[in-house]
């Protein structure tokens, strides 16, 4: 038995395990009910008394050795498992990919910043409006085609409630609550019942401006828009104003800029005319001032409005307006370097 005990001591000292399951199997193999050490203790009981005194200490040493060895294996495997769940702080960090502003936000911020420099204050209003603020107060007659369902999204069961078709409704709200001087710019989302294509969408964004004070003239409007065009598209940009008609301005005009792609020489962008239309403008109609309780004999003013998508298309040479709404990451990633 002494030789068998010495063999088990050497065997136990050489034990190793690669998993907690293997360590548990070793415990059963040596210390279980039918384990090698347990069997030795069963045989020990059959020995005569004089041999028991000699072998008892060696058996206890064997059992303690087996218990400590297997417990040590389990403890070391447990620590390895715990460490595997913790991050290795010595590894190099992962670089975080920065996002980018949407091209509509980039263009909106640039437009707003330009007009902020000459005293215009940003004002916003609700997207769900009533007929008065969108049409009636702005001198739209009852039979005007813009009121038709073909152009306007009316709220069901509410013929006087609609999704605003322009941000001019914000002008009315400001004029109703504030007396001149008024110098505001109104960016926002608008809705029109139009077929979606590469050049049109049922949702788009506008920036409108309004300036009302004493002795405001068309020349003031022209110089303001010339300043904007040069700041947005470059110092070499030229503008021209063509007569037009809008119910809320008189006289009215549409403003073109010299094509920033070909420099006015003619290309596909400007349809070989050298000019690209970007906004409508004009002097505020006296009827609009009177509707908002502003004395049209004392005050005058001008208003203008442009589509942000239109400016972004010209600024960044984008060919399809639908790209602004598709959330295509390949398109948006192109603006990572633009603030």
Mean pLDDT per 10-residue section of the chain, whose length is 339 residues: 72 76 78 75 66 68 78 74 65 75 91 95 93 89 72 79 91 93 95 82 92 95 96 91 93 90 72 87 94 93 94 85 86 75
Of 53, 84, 115, the last residue of a domain is: 84
Task: Kindly give, in sequence order, each residue whose CB lies less than 8 Å from that of residue 138, ignoring residues fewer than 6 positions away.
Answer: 168, 169, 171, 172, 247, 248, 288, 291
Is there a single domain that holds both residue 119 and residue 247? yes
What's the angle, vertex CA 257, arms to CA 255 and CA 259, rounded to 5? Answer: 145
- The helix/strand count (H/E) of the chain reads as 11, 10
Angle between helix 36-44 and helix 49-84 axes, rounded to 10 deg:
160
Alpha helices in 200-307 (DSSP H): 218-233, 286-291
Q: Are residues 67 and 115 in the same domain?
A: no
Answer yes or no: do 157 and 295 share one domain. yes
Q: Are residues 189 and 240 in the same domain?
A: yes
Whether residue 267 is contained in a domain is answered as yes
Question: Domain span at residue 172?
Answer: 103-335
Q: What is the pLDDT of residue 65?
A: 78
Tokens 């940009």 -> residue: 237
Q: Is residue 331 part of a domain?
A: yes
50 and 132 inside one domain = no
Residue 291, domain CATH:
3.30.930.10
Q: Where do the DSSP E strands lie in the chain? A: 121-122, 128-130, 154-155, 158-163, 182-191, 203-213, 239-246, 249-258, 275-284, 300-307
Which of 21, 50, 84 is the last residue before a domain boundary?
84
User: Is 98 contained in some domain?
Assistant: no
Same domain, 79 and 107: no
Within a domain: 92: no
Q: Are residues 159 and 196 in the same domain?
A: yes
Residues 53 and 143 in one domain: no
CA distance 146 to 169: 14
pTM exceeds 0.75 for this model:
no
Residues 140, 76 within the same domain: no
Please work out, in degrees rounded to the nearest 5, the angle formed at the alpha carbon of residue 229 by the alpha carbons of 224 and 230.
100
- Looking at 84, 117, 148, the residue that finishes a domain is 84
CA angle, residues 122, 125, 129, in degrees to nearest 5: 155
Whether residues 134 and 273 share a domain: the answer is yes
Measured between its terminal Cα atoms, the distance across the chain in Å is 85
- Residues 112 and 62 both lie in one domain: no
Q: Is residue 296 part of a domain?
A: yes
| 130 domain residue, yes or no | yes
Does any domain span residue 187? yes
CA distances from 190 to 156, 206, 275, 320 (A): 18, 7, 26, 19
Say if 236 falls within a structural domain.
yes
Could you tell me if 12 and 111 lie in one domain? no
- Total residue count of the chain as it appears in this document: 339
pLDDT for residue 100 = 79
Separation of alpha carbons 120 and 205, rounded Å:
18
The predicted structure's pLDDT at residue 316 = 84
What total of structural domains would you count in the chain? 2
Strands (DSSP E) contained in 203-299 are 203-213, 239-246, 249-258, 275-284
CA 260/CA 230 separation, integer angstroms: 11
């Amino acid at each position: 038995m002494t030789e068998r005990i010495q063999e088990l001591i050497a065997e136990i000292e050489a034990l190793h395990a690669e998993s907690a399951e293997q360590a548990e199997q070793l415990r059963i193999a040596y210390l279980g009910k039918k384990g090698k050490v347990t069997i030795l203790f069963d045989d020990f009981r059959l020995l005569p008394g004089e041999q028991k005194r000699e072998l008892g200490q060696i058996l206890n040493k064997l059992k303690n050795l087996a218990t400590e060895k297997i417990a040590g294996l389990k403890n070391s495997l447990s620590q390895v498992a715990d460490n595997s769940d913790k991050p290795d702080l010595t590894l190099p960090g992962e670089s975080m990919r920065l996002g980018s502003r949407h091209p509509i936000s980039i263009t909106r911020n640039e437009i707003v910043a330009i007009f902020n420099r000459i005293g215009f204050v940003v004002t916003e209003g609700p997207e769900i409006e009533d007929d008065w603020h969108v049409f009636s107060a702005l001198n739209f007659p009852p039979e005007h085609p813009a009121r038709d369902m073909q152009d306007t999204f009316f709220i069901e069961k509410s013929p006087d409630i609609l999704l605003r078709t322009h941000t001019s409704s914000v002008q009315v709200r400001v004029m109703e609550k504030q007396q001149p001087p008024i110098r505001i710019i109104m960016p926002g989302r608008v809705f029109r019942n139009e077929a979606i294509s590469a050049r049109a969408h049922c949702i788009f964004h506008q920036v409108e401006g309004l300036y009302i004070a004493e002795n405001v003239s068309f020349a003031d409007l022209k110089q303001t828009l010339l300043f904007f065009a040069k700041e947005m598209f470059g110092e070499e940009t030229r503008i021209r104003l063509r007569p037009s008609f809008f119910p809320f301005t008189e006289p009215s005009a549409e403003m073109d800029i010299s094509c920033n792609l070909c420099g006015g020489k003619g290309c596909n962008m400007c349809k070989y005319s050298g000019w690209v239309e970007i906004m409508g403008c004009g002097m505020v109609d006296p009827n609009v001032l009177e509707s908002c309780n502003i004395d049209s004999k004392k005050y005058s003013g001008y208003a203008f409005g442009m589509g942000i998508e239109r400016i972004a298309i010209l600024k960044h040479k984008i060919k399809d307006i639908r790209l602004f709404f598709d959330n295509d990451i390949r398109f948006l990633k192109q603006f990572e370097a633009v603030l």
